[in-house]
Amino acid sequence: MTPFVATDEPVAAAPPNHHHQLQRQRNQEHRDDVDEEPPRRAAKRSRTMTSTEEIDSTITRPGSVKINVQGAFIVDPDAATPAQNGSDNGRVSPSHHETSDIRLPNHTGIVSHIAVDIGGSLVKLVYFSREVDSTDPGGRLNFQYFETDRIDDCIEFMKLLRDKHKALNGSRSQQLCVMATGGGAYKFYDTIRDALEVEVLREDEMECLIAGLDFFITEIPREVFTYSETDPMHFVSPREIIYPYLLVNIGSGVSMLKVTGPRSFQRVGGTSLGGGTLWGLLSLLTGARSFDDMLAEAEYGDNTKVDMMVGDIYGADYGKIGLKSTAIASSFGKVFRMKLQAEAAEAKVADGPVHDGESHNGQEESSSPFSSADISRSLLYAVSNNIGQIAYLQSQIHNLSDIYFGGSFIRGHRQTMNTLSYAIKFWSKGEKQAYFLRHEGYLGAVGAFLKRQPANWGRRGSLEGLDDVQEWRKGMKTESEAKTKKKKKRREKRNTRRVNVSWP
């Protein structure tokens, strides 16, 4: 089966030649005998029905890139075949949640572009590579990220990709193109273009997020999953009907999009308390210097040493309103009181009598009642709970039952996913479902990758060339107004002549 090609983009007309003339003559000769074939309608995009281990057909994704995803699968470490982890019901251990490459064993065409999503904290890069040392055809989609503060490292890496692309494909390929999205696509546009000396095309951030998510939902097996402590990472099969849904994209900040179709969406809300908030506050409160370090600390922290729980107030569950004793009543609610108690204890020890051989100056300071790991876990819960509740409220307002969480904030972190999932389940009483993705941080980059179109096809959905189009429209409008004004003057002149002729 070959990939279906989108037909709604204008194709550049080929120059006439002898073959075309002969074909037209043959058509004319047989026109009396053969009914003219009705124009073919643009084929509808087929949705693949898959198991959790294989995909049975090909797709055309948004835009006009032809990528054959027949047999596509996520590559687990040290594996060259579709992942076999877990049982037939799609369940798998959470330790297998990784941002792995996606193998495309049946794609043989040249891919002349890479995609980058430049956010406030991270740069996400997606590129296609060949299996150079393998006898198997095809290639894979690769995923890599850099901190935005180190975008120069990302640019150097893209230079390597550019040089490798040229060496592998030679003169038969187009020059490498960079598809860019996110706020940094504008901020670093000149920097990337000048450094790489290639074309840089900017794409709308929200459209790219949706295009990337739709691709993962419908086409990649073992990508989308639900999560809970009792049933971690239960994979769901790609499905035919996906709209409407709520996309909660958690990056430095949080955006929430109501999506009713491939190009039909509305930003319905969000919050400034996102990944950047967690990263910033923990950098002030702990010694962690990277987001991954902060998440690692949160793994073994105990938030009950920092947070005030329902049990701390009532001594038990508050069953009347459905609150367990382990529910958080106040994030960081214990800190002030515990800190005062610790300071009072230290002062009391300092004022005590000095015995022989002892010295206050040499006395070790008393340990803190809570650790940086406890703080990390508490703040992670605070940010995640806030996002989860706002997401539920937006889904309730807009009557949406499917909620997809994306963005680099999650990173497959079990506590984060469990908190978000529990919040949706608790507030909706089980009527709404939270979904997560293995490549949750790369929705925008993958969407930008999919929007690449062949040269000279025009870019109907792109932001590139928008200024030129607007200038052209402005010129056409001015010209039209001038013609209208000229016609009006002519009519007035003719009317004046008629009045003069009929005047007694």
Domain assignment present for residue 361? The answer is no
Q: How far is CA 461 from the centre of its chain?
A: 18
Residues 98 and 168 in one domain: yes
Whether residues 284 and 417 fall in one domain: yes
pLDDT per position as a tens digit, 451-498: 876 443 333 344 444 444 445 455 666 677 777 777 777 777 776 665
Establish if 362 belongs to a structural domain: no
Count of the separate structural domains present in the chain: 3
Tokens of 440: 């949750």
Say if 9 falls within a structural domain. Answer: no
Q: If pLDDT is split at 50, 70 and 90, which confidence band does 52 have? A: very low
pLDDT (mean) for 224-247? 88
Q: 357: phi > 0 → left, psi -120 to 50 → alpha, else beta; which? A: left
Helix (H) or strand (E) holding 268: strand 264-271
Alpha helices in 101-181 (DSSP H): 151-169
Please, what is the Cα angle at 270 between 183 and 297, to 5 degrees? 85
Q: What is the pLDDT of residues 173-220, one digit of tens each?
A: 567 889 999 999 999 999 999 999 889 999 999 999 999 999 899 888
The two beta strands, 177-181 and 199-202, are parallel
Residue pair 269/256 in contact by the 8 Å Cβ criterion: yes
376-411 pLDDT per residue, tens: 999 999 999 999 999 999 999 999 999 999 998 888
Arithmetic mean of pLDDT over the chain: 73
Strands (E), 82-209: 102-104, 113-118, 122-130, 139-147, 177-181, 199-202
- C-alpha pair distances (Å), 300 with each of 173, 197, 334, 385: 51, 47, 19, 19
Rounded to whole angstroms, the Cα distance separating 289 from 372 reads 12
> Quick check: is 171 in a domain?
yes
Arithmetic mean of pLDDT, 252-279: 92
427-441 residues labelled b (16+ CB within 10 A) or e (exposed): bbeeebbbbbbbbbb
The answer to whether residue 3 is domain-embedded is no
Determine, yes or no, domain membership for 487. Answer: yes
Domain boundary among 410, 427, 450: 450
Question: What is the spatial distance between Cα 215 and Cα 462, in angstroms, rounded to a whole number?
Answer: 19
Residues 287 and 218 reside in one and the same domain: no
Contact in structure between 199 and 464 (CB atoms under 8 Å): no
Q: By the 8 A CB rule, do 70 and 106 touch?
A: yes
Question: Is residue 453 within 8 Å of residue 7, measured between CB atoms?
Answer: no
Q: Within this chain, do residues 83 and 219 fall inside the same structural domain, yes or no?
A: yes
26 domain residue, yes or no: no
**Per-residue confidence band for 9, with pLDDT thresholds at 50, 70 and 90:** very low
CB-CB contact of 427 with 157 (8 Å)? no
Residue-range definition of the domain harbouring residue 144: 54-223+446-450
